[in-house]
Structure 1
């Protein structure tokens, strides 16, 4: 009886021990992830604009009168000052006509002054006085017209710049309105480009820009114009950047402008940590309240060889840096903190 009782007692102990041992050996269903607490920092986003160079202004000079080219004072490519004479046309008999007109004006002036004196004495009626005045005004108008015609025989630069082309040769005949030269003003020079509709709201006139020309030269410029009407084909807006004159001025050459935008609050992370949601949004996975995984959409504002600056995260975020590929938004995780580092790197 004692032996039977002992056997029965030993069997119950083994059965009672089995559930306890199985419970202890069952693994936890909550996954571990490594996290890093990250604080937001100030970052300035840069916007790169590809464009072409243009002169500040340009004009095609047209002849004001007809005549034969008598003298060329400038050549294509020369610098010209404001109002400087580029070429002269043959004045023909304009100088002789002008001398006659001056003599006629002097005679008409004397007759008009004499008529005024006689009128004051009552010896000249109003009709005679008016006729003398009309003769004087006519002589003056004729002389001014001849002086203008003589000035028109001198083809001048309308402003300071570069004489880009000169379509004249000594002895050729030009007509009124005929284009004879082109002058380009490169001081300042402009860089004209297009920006996407998503970026145009960050721009405003007066912002500083760094411009790199096709020659490799870098110039500091200023944003002077931001368009308000989009190109219907590309949905982009025209912008203009003014830069100082370059030693080698080129119109229509490729240029790249970089504009630093206003400072924003962002986080610097490794590109490997970025995820794409089922909706196609770019974001990062963080651990929120009650250790739940959260997916936060972010926007890349700046990048370099070491990482990317993103905005969209809260000021302080617990970023999942290891294991983010095995958990989804809403999952409960066991966060394990990792050491501090300047850059959160994904694995």
Structure 2
């Protein structure tokens, strides 16, 4: 009873050995060729970056080869592929971006002081002009504060003449003391005055100098008082000016202004004003195409509601988004009729230099062993080659790529079952009879 499982395991082991370790010899045996000769040919013809795809699909190759074999012919059967003869076409000169409309300016106008609103509110959607009143706040005691500051300024200014007179008087006393000291020194030298008189004259000099210094300090103090009073007046006037909150620019109210009787603290929002003319279109261009977009380039946009707009590129970001690796592009468009609203989805086409490209089905794209994106083409001898490509954009009919020559026979069916350097049997996609081409 145990013999049959043992034999089954042995058979499976042998089969796996030939399929995994002796796969090349097994494939050569199926094709009827010499394993050593085929291995040498494969090593000489196949590029290093494209050697593993056919082996991964060995069962399909064996079946195709067996079906295509002709009795009495010793030539190994060629792998059959379907090819599209593609000719490069001029691609329109637009870089297509996905984005949205955005108001040129949007500001939530804040209060700069705290008070109760005493004006009737303006309703959202209303047109406002630059400098127009949005909210008027209750002044409270601010006018009283201003009057007090002005009184303090007048008082400080009145002290200037008195301080100036004291300084002049002190300077005159100092001058008289200097004269007396000079006379006392001359009399003392002639023996007509005592040392006591000379010492008294010198003391008078020092006293007069101190009086002058005090008078000058009093004058400076009076001037400082004036400057302080002027600052208080300016602050009170500015506080009263802040009671009226005005529109920073012409536009439209996106929200109602603060309601009558409500309290606005400093920093509280009186209302939101947006400017819709001109309008910005903000799109995002991938890093592979950012160099095709230039400042001042003409751009057109198709909006989600069917509307259209035209403008010029006004900004290209120098820093990519860290997540999407795309660059922001802004287009300025006229919106005098306000047909464009803020936040609409838009497809933006930015004019750029045109190019010639191939339009292929996305299924024709493949990767080589190095991970490069490309297509497999067939040359005039029926030999497969791998051609790297650059994707420009896609549409409903396929994908536009550059890389292949002006005319190229691109494999659209079977490209994943052949390798570079392999000779294949070609069938063209547009043929009705399906016969192989030489």
**TM-score per shorter chain, which class?**
0.5 to 0.7
**What does residue 17 of structure 1 align with?**
none
**What SS class does the counterpart of residue 138 from structure 1 fall into?**
helix
**What does residue 122 of structure 2 align with?**
74
- In the alignment, the residues of structure 2 paired with residue 277 and residue 240 of structure 1 have an alpha-carbon distance, to the nearest angstrom, of 32
| Distance apart, 1:309 and its partner CA | 5.2
The TM-score, its normalising length taken from structure 2, stands at 0.55
CA RMSD of aligned residues (A): 4.5
- 1:262 aligned to 2:353? yes
- In the alignment, the residues of structure 2 paired with residue 80 and residue 113 of structure 1 have an alpha-carbon distance, to the nearest angstrom, of 52
**What does residue 111 of structure 2 align with?**
63
| Distance apart, 1:86 and its partner CA | 0.8
- 1:49 aligned to 2:97? yes
- Inter-CA distance 175–331: structure 2 relative to 1 (3 Å threshold): closer
> Which of 297, 303, 311 is matched with 2:402 structurally?
311
**What SS class does the counterpart of residue 257 from structure 1 fall into?**
strand
> Which of 88, 92, 98 is matched with 2:146 structurally?
98
**What does residue 58 of structure 2 align with?**
none
Q: Name the count of aligned residue pairs.
A: 309
- 1:111 aligned to 2:177? no
**What does residue 241 of structure 2 align with?**
151
| Distance apart, 1:116 and its partner CA | 4.2
Tell me if structure 2 keeps the 8 A contact 1:69–1:170.
yes
- In the alignment, the residues of structure 2 paired with residue 113 and residue 345 of structure 1 have an alpha-carbon distance, to the nearest angstrom, of 107
Q: Structure 1 unaligned runs (5+)?
A: 1-25, 336-343
Tell me if structure 1 keeps the 8 A contact 2:85–2:410.
yes
- Inter-CA distance 103–272: structure 2 relative to 1 (3 Å threshold): closer
**What SS class does the counterpart of residue 112 from structure 2 fall into?**
coil
- Inter-CA distance 34–240: structure 2 relative to 1 (3 Å threshold): closer
Please identify which structure carries the higher helix content.
2
| Distance apart, 1:167 and its partner CA | 4.6
**What does residue 133 of structure 2 align with?**
85
| Distance apart, 1:245 and its partner CA | 4.9
**What does residue 283 of structure 1 align with?**
375
For structure 1, which segment, 273-282 or 250-259, has the greater mean C-alpha deviation from structure 2 after superposition?
A: 273-282
Q: Structure 2 unaligned runs (5+)?
A: 1-72, 173-211, 432-438
Tell me if structure 2 keeps the 8 A contact 1:164–1:183.
yes
Tell me if structure 1 keeps the 8 A contact 2:290–2:327.
no
- Inter-CA distance 230–107: structure 2 relative to 1 (3 Å threshold): closer
- Inter-CA distance 113–78: structure 2 relative to 1 (3 Å threshold): farther
The aligned runs of 1:12-23 (5 Å cut-off) are none
Tell me if structure 2 keeps the 8 A contact 1:204–1:223.
no
Tell me if structure 2 keeps the 8 A contact 1:82–1:160.
yes
For structure 1, which segment, 85-94 or 207-216, has the greater mean C-alpha deviation from structure 2 after superposition?
A: 207-216
| Distance apart, 1:195 and its partner CA | 4.0
| Distance apart, 1:173 and its partner CA | 2.4
- Inter-CA distance 276–175: structure 2 relative to 1 (3 Å threshold): closer
- Inter-CA distance 305–188: structure 2 relative to 1 (3 Å threshold): same
Answer with 1 or 2: which has the greater Rg: 2
**What does residue 240 of structure 1 align with?**
329
Tell me if structure 1 keeps the 8 A contact 2:316–2:328.
yes
The TM-score, its normalising length taken from structure 1, stands at 0.67
Tell me if structure 1 keeps the 8 A contact 2:254–2:272.
yes
- In the alignment, the residues of structure 2 paired with residue 245 and residue 94 of structure 1 have an alpha-carbon distance, to the nearest angstrom, of 45
